[in-house]
């Protein structure tokens, strides 16, 4: 599949936007291990950004274990593995929960409704991977 990456100039630095937009499909299975990423040069020219910015994003993704450089092929999505400690994963989850919890409180939702909605969301995001595995 071709990876959709869009950038929006504002609060988030460009390299971080690229990192996020590769991590997400890698986590949900839209990007499977071995799937190629655009070359640094190609992505820079497509997004009209400095190639060093793409290089920086790819470096971060390699160190997070999301992608890897393969000789003669370029960058590909990596086999999923856990590079963060349990504590770090907890911290990151906590950070991500903040806006969700705040919005839910503003909307005056019951805890059970929030939990239900979260479970449905996770199931729908995980689906494509399962479909691919069964195929």
Residues 105-134 that bind another protein (CB under 8 A): none
Tokens 């929006």 sit on residue? 8
CB of 9 to another protein, least distance (A): 4
Residues in binding contact with another protein, number by CB under 8 A: 20
Q: How far is CA 13 from CA 17, 25, 73, in A?
A: 7, 20, 28
Interface of this chain with another protein, residues 52 to 71, rule: CB under 8 A: 52-53, 55-56, 59
Is 44 a binder of another protein (CB under 8 A)? yes
27 binds another protein (CB under 8 A): no
Assess 96 for contact with another protein (CB under 8 A). Answer: no
Q: Residue 31: CB partners within 8 Å, gap ≥ 6?
A: 1, 3, 22, 25, 77
Binding flag, residue 93, another protein (CB under 8 A): no
A 10 A CB-CB count for 117 gives 13
């Amino acid at each position: 599949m071709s990876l959709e990456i869009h950038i929006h100039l504002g609060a988030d630095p460009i390299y971080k936007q690229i990192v996020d937009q590769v991590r997400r499909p890698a986590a949900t299975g839209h990007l499977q291990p071995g799937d190629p990423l655009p070359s640094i040069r190609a992505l820079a020219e497509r997004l009209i950004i400095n190639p060093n910015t793409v290089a920086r994003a790819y470096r971060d993704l390699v160190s997070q274990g999301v992608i890897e450089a393969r000789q003669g092929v370029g960058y590909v999505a990596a086999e999923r593995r856990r590079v963060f400690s349990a504590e770090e994963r907890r911290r990151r989850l906590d950070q991500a929960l903040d806006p969700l919890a705040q919005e839910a409180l503003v909307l005056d939702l019951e805890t059970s409704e929030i939990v239900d909605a979260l479970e449905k969301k996770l199931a729908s995001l995980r689906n494509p991977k399962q479909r691919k595995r069964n195929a």
